[in-house]
Amino acid sequence: MANSWFIFIVSLLACTYSISYIRRSYSLGDLASPHSLYAPLALIHFFLPGIFFSTGIAPPLVNSKHEDFLLAAVLFSFAGLVAIQAGSMLSNRTTHTRRWLGTPNTRCQVAWKDLRIIWVAIMLLVLGWASRFYVVEYDVYIQQARSSHQGIEGPFFTAIRMAELFPFYVLCIFSIRYWRPGTKVSYQWRWALYLILICELLYWLPSGRKEPVILAIVLPILIRYLRIRKLPSRQTIVVFILFVLLLFPIAFFYRYALEAGGGTGSAEDMAAAASKAFAKDRNIDYTPYEIVFGRLSLLEPVAGCIRIWELGIWEPMIGSSYALALTGIIPRFIWPDKPELHYGNDFGYVTGYLSAHDSITSISVTFVGESYLNFGVGGVMPLTVMGFLFGFVYSKIGASRRCETWLLLYSVCIPTILYIGGTFALYFGGLVKLIPFFYLMGLIMDRSVPANSKSNKPV
């Protein structure tokens, strides 16, 4: 591979930076901030793959033409990480210089009232499970049917998909309430939290979707850390990592078996696919290592973005993909011909990821790659703005009187933060609807705590 030594050295230096940043954030009690979360994300998705590619232990590139742009991809990914971190820290200048550990938010004087939490949770659960029954009824529960919009097209399909996630956010609400600092541990809230978690896992696992399963575990962990500054034990972390590493190939084999068998999402089809996923004679050319690496490595898509920009294959978007996010405010039943918020298919065709007849698969452009497709090297600027927006929401947890509501809003943002392989319009187009909605839910659940009240404990 050309420039393999340069790729190795740059990737190694970037890995060292990310690990040092994570250790520093740990000592500051600031691991859940946007600028801290992006350090391990860049390490896993960009810098470690750079080392693997340069040493020849990575699977072959999907398109060998991207090989000459891997070094530029590592360099720009590192620049993107620094830009996001700079934007996040600019929005909250004190968070990264002081210890959060042992310094709860003393300004937080508005806590949620338990009865209102229950009523809001009931409303969200009813709407969410009604949408899920609709999804199952119209055979768009499994991932393949969901990707092709089969049976769920129409002016309200976006609202249905958004409501499908409402029980997921109830999990966040219950986590925020259960781990409220300065209050006695409530076994009722604990069992309610466990019940919602189990229901989420049981719903999402058979669908073949990995992200909601992982988020259902990660979000309560992050909320617990933000509330009481406690991390899971080392044994728990190791078990979770092993679970994720096993989930990727098992989900791949399961979805392949469903697709190969022409499954429609019935219980019989899913049971048959699950048995085939664990069978030895799967007739699949990919090894578990190749599957895990292919799902975690996002370096080649960034290299593809740089290649098609530099060679003039892709017309510069000059901010148009970011402007698409504003269309998310307008419901589709008002604007039926509203453009799609993703272009993963077109990107896959141009970069050689997809064949001409594949109209379902969407390739991850990544936030970093998208910024290059818009402004070239100047793409670090929108990444800085992105970091600033996330950092602003995060800073309000420690500064606002309504810290529980802002923690809920930050929890809504975390899936977008963690899924670095997405595009701005697709994920921020959803946030422009979710953030106002859940801010309203937070206001409904709020109750004021008098400043001179004995119950006015930091929360």
Any domain includes 285: no
- 438 domain-assigned: yes
- pLDDT score of 451: 37
The DSSP line for 331-398 is -TTTSTTPPPS--HHHHHHHHTSS-TT--S------HHHHHHHHHGGGGHHHHHHHHHHHHHHHHHHH
Q: What is the pLDDT, as a whole number, of residue 282? A: 56
Q: Answer for the pair 331, 433: CB distance below 8 angstroms, yes or no.
A: no
In degrees and rounded to multiples of 5, residue 38 shows phi and psi of: -70, -20
Residue 243 lies in a domain: no
Return d(Cα 262, Cα 397) in angstroms, integer. Answer: 47
**C-alpha triplet 332, 408, 164: angle, nearest 5°:** 40
Cα 348 off chain centre by = 21
Neighbours of 235 (CB within 10 A): 8
Number of structural domains the chain divides into: 1
Query: What six digits make up the tokens of 163?
Result: 């409501």
In a domain, 253, yes or no: no
Sign of CA dihedral 231, 235, 239, 245: positive
48 within some domain = yes
Query: Residue 448 forms beta bridges with which residues?
Result: 110
Range of the domain at 68: 4-231+298-448
194 located within any domain:
yes
Consecutive 10-residue averages of pLDDT for the chain (459 residues) = 87 97 93 95 96 93 90 97 94 53 53 94 96 85 63 65 92 95 86 96 90 95 94 94 93 78 58 59 74 92 94 89 79 69 79 72 86 94 95 90 93 94 85 92 78 40
CA distance 248 to 418: 16
Residues 86 and 386: beta-carbon distance below 8 Å: no
Specify if 276 maps to a domain. no
The answer to whether residue 213 sits within a structural domain is yes
Q: What is the pLDDT of residue 41?
A: 96
Measure the CA–CA gap between 82 and 96, rounded to whole angstroms.
Answer: 14
Q: How far is CA 88 from CA 15, 310, 396, in A?
A: 20, 29, 12
pLDDT of residue 141: 81
Cβ–Cβ under 8 Å, residues 375 and 383: no
